[in-house]
Structure 1
Amino acid sequence: MLDIKHVTELIAKVVGEENVKNFEPMSKHTSFKIGGPADIIVSPVTTQQIQRIIGISKSEKIPIFIMGNGSNLIVREKGIRGITVKLFDNFGGCDIEGCTLRAQAGILLSRLSQIALQNGLTGLEFASGIPGTLGGAIAMNAGAYGGEMKDVVIKTEYIDKNGDIKSLEGDMHCFGYRTSFIQKEEGIVLSSELKLRAGDKNEIKALMDDLCKRRNDKQPLKMPSAGSVFKRPEGYFAGKLIEDCGLRGYSIGGAEVSNMHCGFIVNKGNASAGDVIELIEFIKNTVKEKFGVDLQTEVKIIGEE
Structure 2
Amino acid sequence: MHKENEFILAIQKVLEPKQILLNEPMKYHTTFKIGGPADYLLLPASLDELTEVLAAVKSYDMPLTILGNGSNVLVLDRGIRGVVIKFDKSFAYLKQKEDSVVAGAGALLKDVSKFAARCGLTGMEFAVGIPGSIGGAVFMNAGAYDGEISHIVSAVTAVSRDGEVKRFERKELDFGYRHSVFQENGDIICEIELSLMSGIHTEIHDKMGDLTQRRESRQPLEMPSAGSTFKRPVGHFAGTLIEQSGLKGFRIGGAQVSPKHAGFVINAGDAKAQDVLDLINEVQRLVYEKHGVKLYPEVRTLGEK
| AA at the equivalent of 1:224 | P
CA distance in 1, matches of 2:127, 2:4: 38
The aligned counterpart of 1:89 is 89
Aligned to 2:223: 223
Whether the 8 Å contact between 1:88 and 1:133 is mirrored in structure 2 is no
Task: Give how far 1:227 is off.
Answer: 0.6
The answer to whether the Cα contact below 8 Å between 1:74 and 1:273 also exists between their aligned partners in 2 is: yes
In the alignment, structure 1 residue 241 sits paired with structure 2 residue 222? no
Equivalent-residue separation in structure 2 for 1:2 and 1:110 (angstroms): 43
- Distance in 1 (CA, whole Å) between partners of 2:2 and 2:302 is 18
Residue 268 (structure 2) aligns with = 268
Q: Which residue of 2 aligns with 1:11?
A: 11
Distance 1:236 1:107, change over 3 A: same
| Aligned counterparts, 1:65-144, within 5 A | 65-144=65-144
Question: What secondary structure does 1:249 align onto?
Answer: coil
Code of the residue aligned with 2:262 in structure 1: it is: C
Rounded Cα–Cα distance in structure 1 between residues aligned with 2:79 and 2:3: 17
d(CA) in 2 for partners of 1:245, 1:2: 54
| Residue in 1 that maps onto 2:47 | 47
Counting matched residue pairs gives: 305
Q: Cα distance, 1:106 vs. partner? A: 0.5
Do the aligned residues in 2 keep the contact of 1:20 with 1:41 (CA within 8 Å)?
Answer: yes
Distance 2:196 2:2 in 1: 46
- Runs of 5+ unmatched residues, structure 2: none
Equivalence for 2:21: 21
How many angstroms apart in 2 are the aligned matches of 1:127 and 1:60?
A: 39
Cα offset, 1:292, TM superposition: 2.1
In 2, Cα distance between the equivalents of 1:183 and 1:304? 20
The change in CA–CA distance for 1:285 and 1:2 in structure 2 (over 3 A counts) is: farther
For structure 1, which runs of at least 5 residues remain unmatched after alignment? none
CA contact (8 A) 2:220 2:261 kept: yes
TM-score by length of 2: 0.97
Structure 2 CA distance for aligned equivalents of residues 33 and 6 of structure 1: 31
1:8 counterpart SS class? helix
Q: Per the alignment, in what secondary structure is the counterpart of residue 15 of structure 1?
A: coil
CA distance in 2, matches of 1:169, 1:68: 21
Partner Cα separation in structure 2 for residue 5 and residue 223 of structure 1: 39
Cα deviation 1:162-192 (Å, max 9, x = unaligned): 3311111121111111001122222210101
Q: What is the aligned-residue identity percentage?
A: 44
Q: Matches of 2:264 and 2:119 in 1, distance apart?
A: 33
Over the aligned positions, Cα root-mean-square deviation in angstroms equals: 1.2
> 2:58, 2:162 within 8 Å by CA — same for their partners in 1?
no
Q: Report the counterpart of residue 165 of structure 2 in structure 1.
A: 165
Aligned to 1:297: 297
Give per-residue Cα distances to partners, 1:262-303, cap 9 Å, x unaligned.
010011122111101111111112122222222111111111
Q: Tell me which residue corresponds to 1:282.
A: 282
What is the deviation of 1:3? 4.3
Residue type at the aligned position of 2:95: D
**TM-superposed deviation, 1:2:** 7.5
Does the CA-based 8 Å contact 2:94-2:101 persist in structure 1? Answer: yes
Residue aligned with 2:81, SS: strand
| Greater displacement, 288-297 / 104-113 | 288-297
Question: Separation in 2 of the partners of 1:237 and 1:100?
Answer: 33
Asked if structure 1 preserves the Cα contact closer than 8 Å seen for 2:55 and 2:162, the reply is no
Separation in 1, partners of 2:239, 2:249: 12
> What is the TM-score with the length of structure 1 in the denominator?
0.97
Q: 1:195 corresponds to which residue? A: 195
Deviates most, 265-274 or 213-222: 265-274
* Partners of 1:229 and 1:265 within 8 A in 2: yes
- Distance in structure 2 (CA, Å) of the matches to 1:162 and 1:276: 35
Local SS of the residue matching 2:18: helix
What is the CA deviation profile of residues 81-128 of structure 1, one whole-angstrom value per residue up to 9, with x for unaligned ones?
Answer: 101100122211111111111111110010000101111111000011
1:35 equivalent in alignment to 2:39: no
